[in-house]
Amino acid sequence: MVPEAGVPAPNFETVDDQNRPLKLSDFRGKWVVLYFYPKAMTPG
């Protein structure tokens, strides 16, 4: 699945650097930059 510019990202949950839960929806209405790293050991 390749994300396309301008398409909303799916909501997801993770933890921050202090192990507190963090959801993408927590930033609704704010500017957010997401960077998707390529899979390890693949070109790109």
DSSP at 41: T
Nearest Cα to 33, choosing from 14, 42, 5, 43? 5
Which of the 8 DSSP states describes residue 5? T
Give the span between the Cα atoms of 38 and 44, in whole angstroms.
6
If pLDDT is split at 50, 70 and 90, which confidence band does 44 have?
A: low
pLDDT tens per residue across span 3-43: 788 888 888 899 989 999 999 999 999 998 877 777 777 77
Q: What pLDDT shows up at residue 10?
A: 86
Nearest to 23, CA basis, from 35, 31, 13: 13
